[in-house]
Amino acid sequence: MKSNILDIGEVAARSGLPTSTLRYYEEKGLIASIGRNGIRRLYDAHVLDRLTLIILGRNAGFSLDEIGNMLLSGGTSINRDQLLAKADELDQQIKQLTAIRDGLRHTVECSAPSHLECPTFQQLMRVALKHQQRKNRR
């Protein structure tokens, strides 16, 4: 077999993804096999670059549909505007998580007899409730 052609097992081993995930990604149109060797799917070695982008996208919080839309060209180029929007979204999540972390750490050291009596924890609870209510309205 040529070195630029990999069977599904080789792609799984090199990417760290199970073969079931590779078949699912193919079903969703995120990757494409170039043929078969018996019952084993064959892929061009460049599929590893595409899989790495998919893995990075998933780690950044993109859905598979969003990743698919970014990779519509069939290559590995991606929409920079979508990346910027996701980076901004991640910044917002980081701010929220940092505030939650800081509130929890304060609560641990708070002199109030109970965490429910801690003003900072009460504020944290109010913010969490408002955030959930906004999510439900969408």
Residue boundaries of the structural domains of the chain: 5-70, 83-137
Say if residue 16's pLDDT is above 60.
Answer: yes
For 5-70, which CATH class?
A: mainly alpha
The CB-side HSE value for 65 (13 A sphere, CA atoms) comes to: 0
Pick the more confident residue, 58 or 78: 58
Residue 1's pLDDT is what?
45
What rounded mean pLDDT belongs to the chain? 89
The model's confidence at residue 132, banded by pLDDT at 50, 70 and 90, is confident
- Contacts by 47-53, CB closer than 8 A, 24 or more apart: 47/6, 47/11, 48/6, 48/11, 48/14, 48/15, 49/76, 50/76, 51/11, 51/15, 51/17, 51/22, 51/25, 52/15, 53/78
Q: pLDDT tens digit string along 17-73?
A: 999 999 999 999 999 999 999 999 999 999 999 999 999 999 998 999 989 888 876
pTM for the structure as a whole: 0.69
Percent of the chain surpassing pLDDT 70:
93
Of 115 and 27, more confident: 27
